[in-house]
Amino acid sequence: MTLPLTADSIWWAGRLHTGAALHPTTALHHPHAAPLSHPGTAALDQPNTAPLHQPNTAPLPQPGAGAFHQTHAAALPQPGTAALPQPNAATSHQHDAAVQPDDAALQPHSAAVTHPDISDFSLATDFSGEATRLPGTLLPGLVDAHVHSALVDLATVRAGGISGVWDLGGEPSTVAALAKDHQRRKMPYIRYAGPFLTAPGGYPSDRAWAPAGSWRELRSPADAVEAVAEAKAHGATLIKVTANAGGPLLSPAIMAAVAGQGLPVVVHAEGPGTVRLALESGAAYLAHTPWTEPLDPGLARDCAARMTWISTLDIHGWGEPTPESVTAVANLRLFRSYGGQVRYGTDLGNGPLPPAVNPREVRLLQSAGLTPNEILQAMTGDGLSWIPGGLDLDPARFADSLATARVLDESVHPAVFPR
């Protein structure tokens, strides 16, 4: 029988627990365990629409099987509230109930990782008997929701504490092959979007960093339908669309056709009018917090009701303050004031960003008003992570503490102790 897994502390469901353990849900029915929902049948929807697509109705996959399930965290409070609510499977965010099972604001967590002593878990606040014990803090896997795998070494990223990534634009067969082989190559598990979908001559087809095959030009709604079908065939569970006002833009009709195909759409929105275009086309995510201009409060409010933003704050200066970083932080703070949901992402591959948990990104999220618990909810997903020295939730020390996280895998050999 697999033993319960414990540590000095466990961050789970929006709070730090001591004297708790993670019990295998398939092997143990503990009277004090908080049962955890199985995320494998969660639906991917577009905002404010009927459910469209069941991405995975099979039993919960091992990390890297293509589905990310943020099912461990409670709903995020409105900015300024003191306490995080406890998990409630009947409660969900107004636009994330079915659209984004991967956002960290939804349900209790059931984690699956490649480790001889780890399967699916529920958190128990009281337990007895033998337990597999680690020093420090256990927590769900840390996910970077904006990475370009062609531009970084993913094995290094995993060694830096990131257990999962979202590849938001790459040559589809190459990314699919990496995702399939990630465990053997000691990479994070990969959720991916396939190629950038763009207008003829649009971003990033004009950029030297974009590998051949990493973008696809759309000329009609029919092209959009075909492109999404091809991405799905390669295993994509997201679709990436670009809207850069500095070049050709897709028409609203083509954007809407992309969003109507049943996969969540992530939009690179850069420049005047592009955030509204993304919103009105039905996008589920913005790939970046808007940074080119301050957003109108009404637009920020509408975004908060219908989409999630991926942070990517540190790309504007890489640790140095710039007008763009100031604008992005202010826009994120405004978005959150209306209840907007955020995912941690760095745009890894875009300049001198650390290939690991990025403490600069974490501090910028703090400057936008997120608490340590809210940042963890924005970062965590499938798998288990481990902070050997323990998680410090003090705001002044939190970022550096989190940057010491490791992915919990077969290289870690915990001891067995009596309770």
- Rounded Cα distance between 137 and 412, Å, is 14
Query: Cα–Cα–Cα angle for 332, 91, 279, nearest 5°?
Result: 40
- Which pLDDT belongs to residue 394? 97
E strand residue ranges, 156-277: 164-167, 189-192, 196-198, 215-217, 239-244, 265-270
d(CA 127, CA 143): 29
Could you give the domains of the chain?
Answer: 140-382 (3.20.20.140)
Q: What angle do CA 129, 137, 5 make, to 5 degrees?
A: 25
Per-residue pLDDT of 94-126, as tens digits, reads 333 333 333 333 233 333 333 333 345 678 776
Which residues have C-beta within 8 Å of that of residue 180, sequence separation ≥ 6? 64
Based on its alpha-carbon atoms, the radius of gyration of the chain, rounded to whole angstroms, reads 20
Determine the pLDDT at residue 402.
98
Taking residues 245-255, what's their average pLDDT? 96
pTM of the model: 0.79
Q: How many helices (H) and strands (E) does the chain have?
A: 10, 18
Identify which has the larger pLDDT, 116 or 419.
419
Q: What is the DSSP letter of 124?
A: E
pLDDT > 70: what percent of the chain?
74
Read off the pLDDT of each residue in 381-404 and give the average, rounded to a whole number. 95
Q: How far from each other are the two terminal CA atoms of the chain, in whole angstroms?
A: 16
Q: Determine phi and psi for 21, rounding to 5 degrees.
A: -150, 155
pLDDT level of residue 55 (50, 70, 90 thresholds)? very low
Mean pLDDT score across all residues of the chain: 79
- Size of the chain in residues: 419
Rounded Cα distance, 4 and 24, in Å: 7
Question: Cβ-count burial of 35 within 10 angstroms (0-12 exposed, 13-18 middle, 19+ buried)?
Answer: middle
Q: How many CB atoms lie within 10 A of CB 352?
A: 8
C-alpha separations of 310 from 54, 143, 218, 290 in Å: 23, 12, 24, 10
The pLDDT of residue 161: 96
Cα angle for residues 106, 90, 281 (degrees, 5° grid) = 55
Work out the average pLDDT over 197-213: 92
